[in-house]
Amino acid sequence: MSLNRKLKYSLAINEAINQAMEKDESVFLIGQGVESPWYVGNTCLGLIEKYGRERVIDTPVSENAITGAAVGAAIAGMKPIIVHPRFDFLLYACDPIINEAANWNYMNGGRLSVPVVFWPIINRGGEQAAQHSQALQAIFAHIPGLKILAPSNAYDAKGLMISSIFDPNPVIFVDDRWLYNTEEIVPENFYDVPIGKANIISEGTDLTLISYSFMITQCKKAIEELKNRYSIELIDLRTIKPIDIETIKKSVNKTGKVVVVDATWKSFGVSSEIVALINDYCFSSLKTSVKRVTLPDCPAPAASTLEEVYYPDYKNIINTINEILL
């Protein structure tokens, strides 16, 4: 019997990794700062003490080298989880991720797999500026052979991390530090959340709101503010790729009005792909054009006063919903 209790998002990730390492000795964790709360919060708490430095490997600052080592280990039969404390610097590791891991299964006719989890953490706000604040999931979502996951709550974070670790092919688990102190009911037992299946958080008939990761918290606030005026359906994608188009289609065909909320840049991003898919599959059901709430097409500012304008929140979502429904 499992015990349900409230657990912080960061500790839910920690529990997922711990239970996966208990279950399978081929699972190991590698990356910068895995023993440093400053880098990774409580997500790796106590793992070195329990499993030792052969399975929890704190590395030098060399993203390409350590990612290449993890990909090689996965090809050899291990199940590595490689943490990148800042998503920005995953770009240094594009060669082993895109040229090797993403293509390995295809180039070997499906006979070989690369069970590796790339775990980049988004760091926004706090005057971290343009080179330390980027959410780059759209770049990797463009690549065939990569799955992109982005949980919004502690329950999904644990279940999706477990699904990622035991998936036979490469997964990018998009984490967001702004979620670390949020809490959710999480079972103690070992469980997974299916990859590629969205979650309908609230049902509605007036408008479909589509988002993922941290912006789900802002969507919930917007819906709460508007609950006496509109009936809004909220879809948490959970998986960016493969995207759950069937859930989106069913909702859009019901409501006919859509707002997509995505805390990345507007041009050529995740929101752009969602809008394109809606036009492909649901065009005849649309009563108005699909609206988006995104970052502006410019790098992140350093000044806190500018950050307040740069990063969208529930107020921007409310304003966009009102544009459609008023």
22 is catalytic: no
Task: Copy the structure tokens of residue 303.
Answer: 């000044």
For the chain, where are the alpha helices, taking DSSP H only?
9-23, 37-40, 47-51, 63-75, 94, 102-107, 137-141, 154-165, 215-226, 245-255, 270-282, 304-310, 314-325
Tell me which of 22, 35, 49, 63 is the catalytic residue. Answer: 63
Q: Which tokens belong to 191? A: 């469980």
54 is annotated as an active-site residue:
no
CA pair distance 123, 33, nearest whole angstrom? 15
Q: Which of 35, 127, 132, 183 is catalytic?
A: 132
What's the CA dihedral at 55, 61, 62, 65 to 10 degrees?
Answer: -10
Instruction: Report the candidate in 292, 39, 13 with the shortest Cα–Cα distance to residue 175.
Output: 13
**Residue among 93, 108, 244, 274 at smallest CA distance from 172:** 93
H/E stretch holding 234: strand 232-236
Cis before 242 (ω within 30): yes
Backbone angles phi, psi at 71, to 5 degrees: -65, -45
Nearest to 145 by CA among 119, 116, 174: 116
Just list the catalytic residues.
63, 132
